[in-house]
Amino acid sequence: MAEFIMELNDEQKEVRDWIHGFAADVMRPAAAEWDEREETPWPVIQEAAKIGIYSLDFYAQQYFDPTGLGIPMAMEELFWGDAGIALSIVGTGLAAVGVLANGTEEQIGTWVPQMYGDADDVKVAAFCSSEPDAGSDVASMRTRAVYDEAKDEWVINGTKTWATNGGIANVHVVVASVDAELGSKGHASFIVPPNTPGLSQGQKFQKHGIRASHTAEVVLEDVRIPGNCLLGGKEKLDERLARARERAKAGGGERVKNAAMATFEASRPAVGAMAVGTARAAYEEALEYAKTREQFGRPIIDNQGVAFQLADMRTSIDAARLLVWRASWMAVNGRPFTAAEGSQSKLFASETAKKVTAQAIQILGGNGFTREYPVERMHRDAAIYTIFEGTSEIQRLVIARTLSGMPIR
């Protein structure tokens, strides 16, 4: 088990500087344009693919870093560049992780490469879980998958929402209910191959922030997929459902639910790292502005009202990063989140991003309220961190339940 450290090693610093250079030289100059266009920045993704940032190999190397700092370091630098473009670059990873976590070796080898394509023919993938009536309440999922034994096919019907790359993806990973009576324990994940009839894009959302990232509904109408597109295979699914039914009869359903929540917990530090990157970018803009902007014959940073805000901003950012790093180290090294450390990191970092970006606008004054300066965009982007991957309210609920052992509602 790697010791918890608070400093990147030389190799990690080299990777960080490489990503930072891409973020500064390629992402930032393009950020305002793609935010205004509200379109997927294919040329930027292609540039990321050419140098190896947009690839499974890159994210696998960071994920298996024994210190746990590879992923949060990479996320912070990319989202420091621009949140919308960064989400377009890392969004495919959500689907890839779904396959890596649940799929067989054959499924992983078949589908994950198709999610990314290559530098000459870039592809993206979509992970489809949320629904119009089932966001935080995953047990209310209405999308159904029914097995047609005669044809060895699964038939999927339902509507997914808030899907990053939804409808434009080469490969969709869809979570559906196969046994509604078991609630969230009756869910399974499926691969929907490219050009499958019945899958279509629904509403494309016009968003407040992260506008360079494509977000849309995915409509599934009698979508038929081969039996081998069930992630993990039917035998494994049948065994899992049988265990869930037995536990439900024995009154052990809550224990299974907590085990599932622990899985979600492990993914939340990465979102916290995204928030840290956006917050740091806004803080740096505000700091530079405060040192060069003069009022009443002196830089505005000479005023305590401004200087103290910047001090608080930097302190909160550093505290958020430490919470993210701790949770990331714990996740990689198999340490249980006995105090919901994953949710702690996501909650504090996301709330910090909202607060810091708002303070940055205040320091820039009227200029901060215009699109001429990037802090306005950063503030809009930061709003998403307290919403996706579990709202701040859900994070507080998870933390409170974990600390108390009580079924707080």
Give which of 123, 129, 119 is closest to 111, Cα–Cα.
Answer: 123
Distance CA 171, CA 169 (A): 5
Catalytic residue among 285, 341, 351, 389: 389
| Helix (H/G/I), strand (E/B), else coil: 159 | strand
Question: Among this protein's residues, is 149 annotated catalytic?
Answer: no
Backbone φ, ψ for residue 176 (5° rounding)? -140, 160
Q: Give helix 28-37 / helix 42-51 axis angle, nearest 10°.
A: 150
Give which of 23, 94, 106 is closest to 56, Cα–Cα.
Answer: 94
Give which of 213, 181, 200 is closest to 82, Cα–Cα.
Answer: 213
Strands 199-204 vs 187-192: parallel, antiparallel or unpaired: unpaired
Give which of 2, 10, 123, 8 is closest to 56, Cα–Cα.
Answer: 123
Would you call 97 exposed, middle or buried from its count of C-beta atoms within 10 A (0-12, 13-18, 19+)?
middle
272 Cβ contact list (under 8 Å, min separation 6): 72, 320, 323, 324, 327, 345, 346, 348, 349, 350
From the CA atom positions of the chain, what is the Rg in Å?
22
Give which of 51, 137, 48 is closest to 93, Cα–Cα.
Answer: 48
Pair 361, 390: CB distance under 8 Å: no
Which residues belong to the active site?
389
